[in-house]
């Protein structure tokens, strides 16, 4: 079906899915921005594009609302996995997906009325080496490293889970603070590829609460890769057990990290709508 889309959310973090083989146009930075615009397009936190893969069963390109391509998205992967299962692209409950940040395994762990409602993703390994994040840091691993911005100094902890993350521990989580400083941290010269930002508060050995500033998207209600990054940092610092609940404004994810730093994430996903991009919207897209 030409120009078919579905829109879904994972804990309030919403994406819409397109199949490259069904599109009558080629995505570019400008038309991605239009499509993600809530006033002039479909409106979303990003686009998930199904593409061919020679390395996995399915290929996925992830685009931020500013038009940039993301390496990996935990919520995006769960949404994409639900789409693959619900719309018959996958014959089984378990399959592999290739992203810019590596190959992951997805599994449908619960169905509701025949549709996938709970998805588990093996997200790959947490990598702490500074050059691999990347972050410009004199130490092999960037932990408790001071980052100075205009009126604040934060101690940052950096990790890659297929995309770069900066975790900052706080005694109290204040939304206004991450709204004020999120963009400054994301675009700080220490981070050559920009970075995702999380403010995190440890509640117990198996529970952490976080606020998220997503690279290329801004403040976000929930993020799967951010949850994985925070969990990895907490385990690395000895602040939590290896299995924990991550609480975000949009909801919760279950994260487990094994002794080799492989990360497993499980969470809910819901479809919002499906349909065909209108001829008028396509005409606007083709002008960009």
Residues 150 and 221 reside in one and the same domain: yes
Residues 170 and 278 reside in one and the same domain: no
Strand pairing report for 69-70 and 102-112 = unpaired
Distance of CA 168 to the CA centre of its chain: 18
Residues 104 and 142 reside in one and the same domain: no
State the Cα–Cα distance between residues 9 and 75, nearest whole angstrom. 8
Indicate the DSSP class of residue 131. G
- Residue 22 domain boundaries: 4-123+269-286
Q: Where are the beta strands (DSSP E) in 126-185?
A: 145-149, 152-160, 164-169
Spatial CB neighbours of 271, under 8 Å, sequence gap ≥ 6: 6, 7, 8, 82, 86, 115
Tens of pLDDT, residue by residue, the chain (288 residues):
899 999 999 999 999 999 999 999 999 999 999 999 999 999 999 999 999 999 999 999 999 999 999 999 999 999 999 999 999 999 999 999 999 999 999 999 999 999 999 999 999 999 999 999 999 999 999 999 999 998 899 999 999 999 999 999 999 999 999 999 999 999 999 999 999 999 999 999 999 999 999 999 999 999 999 999 999 999 999 999 999 999 999 999 999 999 999 999 999 999 999 999 999 999 999 998
pLDDT at 81: 99
Residues 145 and 43 reside in one and the same domain: no
Residues 90 and 111 reside in one and the same domain: yes
Residues 178 and 67 reside in one and the same domain: no
pTM: 0.93
Helices (H), the chain: 29-36, 74-86, 175-186, 224-236, 279-286
Q: Using the structure block, give the residue that is written with the tokens 């001071």.
A: 146
State the Cα–Cα distance between residues 269 and 68, nearest whole angstrom. 24
Residues 190 and 104 reside in one and the same domain: no
Residue 116 sits in a domain of what CATH number?
3.10.310.10
CA distance readout (Å), 201 to 1, 190, 228, 247:
46, 24, 15, 10
Helices (H), 9-118: 29-36, 74-86
pLDDT at 52: 98
Q: Using the structure block, give the residue that is written with the tokens 């990996």.
A: 72
* Number of domains, the chain: 2
């Amino acid at each position: 079906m030409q120009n078919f889309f579905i829109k879904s959310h994972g804990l309030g973090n919403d994406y819409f899915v397109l199949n490259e083989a069904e599109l009558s146009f080629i995505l570019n930075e400008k038309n991605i921005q239009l499509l993600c615009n809530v006033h002039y397009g479909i409106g979303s936190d990003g686009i998930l594009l199904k593409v061919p893969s020679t390395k996995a069963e399915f290929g996925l390109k992830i685009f931020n609302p500013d038009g940039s391509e993301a390496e990996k998205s935990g919520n995006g992967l769960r949404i994409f996995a639900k789409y693959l299962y619900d719309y018959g692209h996958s014959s089984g409950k378990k399959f592999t997906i290739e992203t810019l940040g590596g190959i992951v395994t997805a599994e449908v762990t619960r169905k509701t009325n025949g549709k996938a409602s709970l998805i588990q993703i093996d997200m790959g390994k947490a990598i702490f080496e500074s050059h691999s994040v990347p972050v410009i840091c004199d130490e092999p691993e960037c932990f408790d490293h001071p980052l100075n911005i205009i009126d604040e100094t934060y101690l940052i902890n950096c990790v890659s889970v297929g995309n770069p993350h900066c975790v900052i521990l706080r005694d109290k989580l204040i939304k206004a603070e991450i709204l004020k400083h999120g963009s400054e941290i994301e675009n700080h010269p220490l981070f050559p590829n920009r970075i995702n930002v999380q403010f995190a508060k440890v509640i117990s050995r198996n529970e952490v609460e976080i606020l998220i500033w997503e690279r290329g998207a801004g403040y976000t209600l929930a993020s799967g890769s951010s949850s994985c990054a925070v969990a990895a940092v907490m385990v690395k610092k000895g602040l939590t057990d290896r299995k924990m609940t991550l609480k975000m404004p949009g909801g919760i994810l279950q994260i487990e990290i094994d002794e080799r730093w492989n990360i497993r994430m499980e969470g809910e996903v819901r479809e919002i709508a499906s349909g065909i991009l209108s001829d008028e919207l396509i005409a606007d897209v083709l002008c960009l």
